[in-house]
Amino acid sequence: MTAIVLYCRPGFENECAAEIQEKAGWNDVFGYIKLKKNQGLVEFHLYDAEQGDTLLQKLPLKRLIFARQWFLTLGEVIDLPDYQRVEAISEALGSEFRYEELRVESLDTNDGKALSKFIRKLSVPLRQALRKSEVLAPKQSDEYVQGAAVLHALFFSGQQVQLGYSYASNTSPHPMGIPRLKFPSAAPSRSTLKLDEAFLHFIPKAEREERLTSGLNATDLGSAPGGWTYQLVRRGMMVKAVDNGPMADSLMETGQVKHYQQDGFKFRPSKKNNYWLVCDMIENPIKVAKLMASWVIDGDCKEAMFNLKLLPGKGRYQQVEKGLKLIKDMLSEHDIWYEMYAKHLYYDREEVTVHVRALGKR
């Protein structure tokens, strides 16, 4: 089979499938979908196998909202023997291609998680064997050569593996697209991981010093008890925290936070020196999208990071698209240059994180 395999949050397979079909179609690549519900996996089978590689290069993974990671299959699922699995995988790979990196993966399900010990144990000899046969490059480096490929080995069980590849320049840096973040014990809520992941995902490492740095002003709408504010404070920013609910004392004691017990839809900073707007209000996604765009248009923030909370029921992909279109239309109407990306991040649940950055006026 030749398919693009996409990982997503279990339960979001339909959204992930609808999106890859639509966005592949924009690139004149067509195929059909195979998925199993709640497995966090979607297969996009290509009508023309040759087009798989083209799509992997042409469609930026960061343009896909619901896919955490992807790869193009190399052949069928392999049935492995009980012993000498490494040899069986090496043999299936042959020696024609060379990969920069190996990702040994499993599904984001209970069965997948149960395989983690097996995967850890197998990864070492597999990596060694592939390096020895020069299928895998000698050592990983931070910078890849143009066209460098990542080898994926997706284990469904100890007996079955699907091999595939993605391009290092267009792949997630994390196995299965899942970053493992440590919950900071000083943060007042687990939501903190969402903004931490969002900053890591959307802001390139080389630019964090400038765009996520001390001295910047930030506003947090729907801030209580302060998990998101914590991420801004820990990066040295001064934060206006807007919520009728109480903020954690530990944050107030830093002297970096001013709490406004006001409606997030009405609040605006008094001066035009606010850099970040973050928003985690549980509100209608269209209302939130409109609010975010209006802050950018009015020059009340340069960058916005926010969640669009998805309403229960069908059409979650359409809900996100509608919110994004509204923002695009509003910013375009006001001649604003911008970049905007959205992702269903690992720590997101029934919500999608969006990042908008104003780049100036046309």
Ligand X SMILES: C[S@@+](CC[C@H](N)C(=O)[O-])C[C@H]1O[C@@H](n2cnc3c(N)ncnc32)[C@H](O)[C@@H]1O
Active centre residues (catalytic): 309
- Dist CA 341 CA 355 (whole Å): 5
- Dist CA 17 CA 82 (whole Å): 34
CB of 228 to ligand X, least distance (A): 4
Q: Which conformational region is residue 321 in: left (phi greater than 0), alpha (psi within -120 to 50 degrees), or beta?
A: alpha
Nearer to ligand X by C-beta: 228 or 295?
228
Q: Which token pair is 209? A: 């010093």
Determine contact, residues 253/226, Cβ cutoff 8 Å: no
Under rule CB under 6 A, residue 281 binds ligand X: yes
- Per-residue contact flags (x/-) with ligand X for residues 141 to 180, judged by CB under 6 A: ----------------------------------------
Nearer to ligand X by C-beta: 263 or 298?
263
- Per-residue contact flags (x/-) with ligand X for residues 207 to 236, judged by CB under 6 A: ---------------xxxxxxx--------
What is the CB neighbour count within 10 angstroms for residue 277?
23
Under rule CB under 6 A, residue 264 binds ligand X: yes
CB of 252 to ligand X, least distance (A): 14
CB of 349 to ligand X, least distance (A): 10
CB of 232 to ligand X, least distance (A): 10
Under rule CB under 6 A, residue 189 binds ligand X: yes
Determine contact, residues 305/202, Cβ cutoff 8 Å: yes
Determine contact, residues 354/342, Cβ cutoff 8 Å: yes
Q: Classify residue 17 as exposed, middle or buried by CB count within 10 Å of its CB (0-12, 13-18, 19+).
A: buried
Under rule CB under 6 A, residue 244 binds ligand X: yes
Determine contact, residues 181/198, Cβ cutoff 8 Å: no
The region of 3-11, 31-39, 158-166, 239-247 touching ligand X under the rule CB under 6 A is 239-247
Q: Which residues bind ligand X (CB under 6 A)?
A: 188-189, 191-192, 222-228, 242-245, 263-265, 280-283
